[in-house]
Structure 1
Amino acid sequence: MGIMFRGVNPINLDGKGRLAIPARYRESISDHCDGRMVATIDTESKCLLLYPQPEWDEIQAKIEALPSFNPAARRIQRLLIGHATDLDMDAAGRLLMPAPLREYAGLDKKIVLLGQGRKFEIWSEELWNMTRDEYLQDVEAGMTIPEDMQTLSL
């Protein structure tokens, strides 16, 4: 089954740009991938994607297999693989986020670590709150729910 992340986790980046992984995830990350993670940009939103190394390796293989002569595929390869950065969780459970990635996502002090199953998203707290509120307004306004989800009983 592998690893599973869920939940919204408000976190503060320290002065060096490090984020402390919440304690409840640390052991499973250590056991699963020895603390080795990969961060890259999300091409759809101004946030970062954070994967355990084994999950990223699978995704990178799929991205590399896309036809490089296709301009859209080439763009995805350049953005996702080009920004992919290896991160090692230290003994205190922290990851040092590189400046280019922090700048892309507008990460300052207050951030949100959002569990998304096999990965995390990392958002600036302000941008996440705005985005979440937009999503909720879309639902209230009667946004169409994908057909696959209409059969789910939540």
Structure 2
Amino acid sequence: MFLSTFEKQLDGKRRLLIPQEFRTAENGAETGIFCFLSIQFDCLEAGGDHLMAEYEAMIEDLPFGDDYRTALEETVYAGQKPLAYDSGGRITLTESLCRQAGLGDDVVIAGLGRRFQIWDRARWEARREERRLLARQAVKERGEAGRLLARSRPGLRVVSPSDGEGGA
């Protein structure tokens, strides 16, 4: 899994050191990564073979010729760049990817499980508190939904973060 957040700098050639713990066979990124403009945000989305397999499965579930399928194919397949590591574990981002994602010299690499994102540091910082509040709301709503489910199923125990035992 891609975990943690790293602050890095792009050098003059747009090279970026990918953390060693991200360059593993377990996440399918031991020799390089796939990188494309995020579908959701103004950043780059990247990952290894496992990420591409998830997108491929999502695309294949849609009928050929479906507009959603075509949009995903254009974004994920046509928009992606396979990037190999150099001997120092760096990738070289294309000028186009950097421009599309609005990346400056200072970037943040944010691990998100099966994928990671590359953000302009100022943009990442500007959204961090808003995203934390949204996560807090998600935990609260999921906890409430779990408690309703438990009421409908006697004997089911739902643990919430406020119980001091972890997950919702």
Length-normalised TM-score, structure 1: 0.81
Quick one: percent identity of the two aligned structures? 22
Which runs of no fewer than 5 residues in structure 2 stay unpaired? 147-158, 161-165
How many aligned positions are there? 147
Q: CA RMSD in A?
A: 2.6
Offset from partner CA, 1:29-73 (integer Å, 9 cap, x none)? 599544221101111101111111x21441343244122332222
Distance 1:29 1:113 in 2: 19
Residue 113 of structure 2 corresponds to: 117
Could you say which structure has the larger radius of gyration? 2
Contact 1:63-1:77 at 8 Å conserved across structures? no
Which runs of no fewer than 5 residues in structure 1 stay unpaired? none
The answer to whether the aligner puts 1:42 opposite 2:38 as a matched pair is yes
Contact 1:41-1:79 at 8 Å conserved across structures? yes
Q: Map 1:75-114 onto structure 2 (within 5 A).
A: 75-114=71-110
Contact 1:6-1:114 at 8 Å conserved across structures? yes
Contact 1:11-1:111 at 8 Å conserved across structures? yes
Distance 2:105 2:113 in 1: 25
Amino acid at match of 2:18: I
Most deviating of 35-44 and 7-16: 35-44
TM superposition shift of 1:75: 1.2
Length-normalised TM-score, structure 2: 0.75
Distance 2:117 2:27 in 1: 21
